[in-house]
Amino acid sequence: MTAQASRPLTTLPRPKTAEGKTRLLGVEVEFGGLTEARAARILAEGAGSSAQRRGGDFEVEGTPFGTCKLYMDTSYRDHDDTALGRAALDLARNVVPVELVTEPFAPDRLDRLDDVLKRFRTEGATGTRDGLFLGFGVHLNVQYHDGGVDHLWSTLTAFALAEPLLREAYDIDFSRRALPFVDPYPNGLLDALAMGAPTDVPALIALYLRLSPSRNHALDMLPIFAHLAPEQTRKALARGAGGTVSARPAYHYRMPDCRIDNPGWSLAGEWALWCAIEELAEDRGTLERLCTAWRKMRDDPLERLRGQLNGWTRQSRAILAEAGHERLEDRARALTG
């Protein structure tokens, strides 16, 4: 039995940081169907705490996930003390999600957060598929093992080369395809990553910022890069990438839809998928096979002429299956419910 096969689905291959501390997980969940006030009360009741209002936001302290915030992701939430503000906020509820944001917590508490979301569902919470353009998502902020180029490159490359297969298996909702949150990585970035790890972290950051300086990807590396190289990242954003980024030593994984209203969906399932990505990152032999296969395919003039890499999902599936990494695709398909 391989180490991957014997390890639990929801355990990272490197669960500790380089300093020996448990790697923490922060979660953001977007949903409809409940007001932020009602969701905060539900969370507080389960935690034996109380919900406190802070401006347009609600906070619940003393949960297993630290102090949690619940709010509508709109500027109107700060103006609900006027009739016009309340009217605008009510109108926005048709398309703007309520967001639950946790503090970083130990991943072994994730099942307790799933229990909270089940209560939300029972009380009427809805996900992406409740409406045509409700692009609700779930974001996992996974603390990295270390800030070295080896760990960062392997994790980024494992995700990048597996992403086409995952997107096909996961069956991303139409609204998430139509909105810009989940653009696939450009082929040019995959070309560069498949050449092997850069010499150091600044070189990796420069490569990423040159080829894909956007936050609108399933795996957003900009929070990590802003943490490790704030000035380098700030300058790149100022040159045209746009927007701001909160620096933190965590992978910002934002591929999945929110399927909170699907009884077969869970955060644990999303987490298991991320754990499988890191399993692949640790398997350098298989990762190198994927890199080699990608380079050969991209060198094929016919593939260049077509402009679409229709055969990559087939090739990557075969390589992963031979190496015992079926978990990746299986986990993605399981999340469709």
State which H helix or E strand residue 88 sits in: helix 83-92
Q: Would you state the pLDDT for residue 310?
A: 67
Instruction: State the Cα–Cα distance between residues 136 and 292, nearest whole angstrom.
Output: 36
Closest CA to 5 of 330, 253, 315: 330
pTM: 0.88
Q: What is the pLDDT of residue 158?
A: 98
What angle, 0 to 180 degrees and rounded to 10, lies between the N-to-C axes of helices 326-334 and 267-282? 170
Counting beta carbons within 10 angstroms of the beta carbon of residue 259, is it exposed (0 to 12), middle (13 to 18) or buried (19 or more)? buried
pLDDT tens profile 274-295:
999 999 999 999 999 999 999 9
Which two structure tokens, joined as six digits, stand for 269?
Answer: 């399932």
- pLDDT value of position 257: 73
**pLDDT the model gives residue 75:** 44
pLDDT score for 192? 98
Spans in the chain with pLDDT lower than 50: 1-3, 5-6, 75-79, 84-85, 88, 91, 131-133, 173-180, 307
pLDDT at 79: 46
